[in-house]
Amino acid sequence: MAEPVMKANKSLIDASSPYYPHTSDQPNQHLIDALLNGDNYPAWRRSITRALNAKNKLGFVLGTIKRPTTDIAAALLLDRCCNMIMSWLLHSIDRSLIGSLLYCETPNDLWVELKTRFQQSNQTKIFSLIRDLASLRQKHQSITNYYGKLKEL
């Protein structure tokens, strides 16, 4: 029984462990500037993925870090990390969308719910983007501005 506790304690001091709590990690921390509002899901997803990966916590969200079944100490560490990550995710979402998301059990559940809700194909938006790309002209813009608009579309 002492062996799992020692492994769990090592996770607390090993900065390469996904369980490692950095001193700057706070539950009310905003990891990204732009809140998810429903219309910006692809950009939000990219930003939050980068932020979580930088904190070595992306595996909790993607579901690659599984709950230990025999190591109680590691399971408690996982719960603590999941609660912190849930807080970060919820703080990166507009208040108007949070209501039903509060009841997701794990960061992975929340991630899947958001993907299901917002990563729908929008044929109207696709048509609009294709039309905008077809009608895009450089005119009096610098090549840098024109290229930036092209990349944005």
Say if residue 82 is in the same domain as residue 96.
yes
Q: Are residues 125 and 63 in the same domain?
A: no
Task: Specify whether 19 is located in the same domain as 80.
Answer: yes
The range of the structural domain enclosing residue 145 comes to 121-153
Q: 119 near 39, Cβ under 8 Å?
A: no
Res. 110 pLDDT band, cuts 50 70 90 = very high
pLDDT at 8: 56
Residues 26 and 64 placed together within one structural domain of the fold? yes
Examine the domain organization and report whether 75 and 107 are in the same domain.
Answer: yes
Cα distance between residue 47 and residue 101, in whole Å: 19
Q: Are residues 83 and 130 in the same domain?
A: no
Query: Domain total for the chain?
Result: 2
Residue 100: exposure state from Cβ atoms within 10 A (0-12, 13-18, ≥19): exposed
pLDDT confidence bin for 75, thresholds 50/70/90: confident
Together in a domain, 21 and 52:
yes
Helical axes 107-118 vs 72-91, angle rounded to 10°: 40
Amino acid present at 120: Q
List, in order, residues 6 or more apart from 69 with CB less than 8 Å away.
75
